[in-house]
Structure formats: C-alpha cells, structure tokens
Amino acid sequence: MAYTQIYVNLPVADLEVSKQVYTAMGGTINPQFTDDTSAQVVLSEAIAVQQMTPEQFATFTERPVARGAIEAINALAAGSREEVDRFADAALAAGATEPRPAQDLGWLYNRAIDDPDGHSWELLAYDPSAMGSDPTSGQD
C-alpha cells in the first residue's frame, strides 16, 4: 500500500491570521472542512494543512498541546528557486517570520519560515543530479 496524501494538523492561536499565511504560500481554503474552529488549506492535490483552534485541536488528543516548543519541521518542495522566494516572501508579508537566512548549496536552495504560531516550514527547490558526493557543500 502506498500513501496518497498527507494532512498536517496544527493548533493555531488566530485562525484568520494563520489562514492568510498559508494562502499566501499558495494554498486555497477548502470550505468543506472549514468553520469557526478549523480551516483546511490545500497546498497541492496531495498536501493539506488543517489549522485548528487549540480547543478544537485538543479534542483529537488527551496529551497536552505544546506551545512555544518545536516538535517537527515540515518541508515543501517547489519547482524552482524563484517559487521558493515567491512563497516565502508572500508568507512573510502575511505574518510569518524567517528564523534564519536562505541557504544555497548549489544543488539545493531553501528558506525557513515560521508561521505566527511557530510551526516551522522549509521551502526548498533542489536538483539531485547536481548534488555531488558532499551534499552539504554542493561540491564533489
């Protein structure tokens, strides 16, 4: 069996601000799974981000909902360096932050953004054929 889709579920403090960031990154709101407590932003045919108020998120788990800590870094591959910049710049304009400078390894270009709740995303474009034997330097 192969997986066909991924749904990333995130607790968010301000649903409206969070929706703006993810739609700025190229997503579209799926009204079928959106209400006052939750919003689904579709990033591609295979990727959706379900944003939920902390109260709604807590209905899916008995564990405490983390705030201010990092548990995962999500990564999204784009088709080009220009797309990475366009998505990152749009997310920043909508309220995201950039925790570190862009990285350019020649074969890989990426930018990190954190949404307003601190959920981390790596936006990247890469060419594995240009990787070489040392993937950290872009050199053979």
Report the Cα 12 to chain-centroid distance in Å: 13
Phi, psi of 106 (to 5 degrees): 85, -65
Taking every pair of C-alpha atoms in the chain, what is the biggest distance, in angstroms?
52
Please tell us whether the domain made up of 6-61+71-130 is placed in CATH 3.10.180.10.
yes
At 130, is the pLDDT very low, low, confident or very high (cuts 50, 70, 90)? confident
Q: How many CB atoms lie within 10 A of CB 84?
A: 22
Structure tokens at 52: 């939920």
β-pairing, 73-77 vs 28-30, is unpaired
Q: In the predicted model, is pLDDT for residue 139 greater than 60?
A: no
End-to-end CA distance of the chain: 37
- pLDDT of 137 reads 55
Q: How far is CA 55 from CA 14, 26, 38, in A?
A: 12, 27, 10
* Arithmetic mean of pLDDT over the chain: 92
Residue 21's closest CA among 76, 81, 60, 58?
Answer: 76
At 34, is the pLDDT very low, low, confident or very high (cuts 50, 70, 90)? very high
CB 21 within 8 A of CB 96: yes
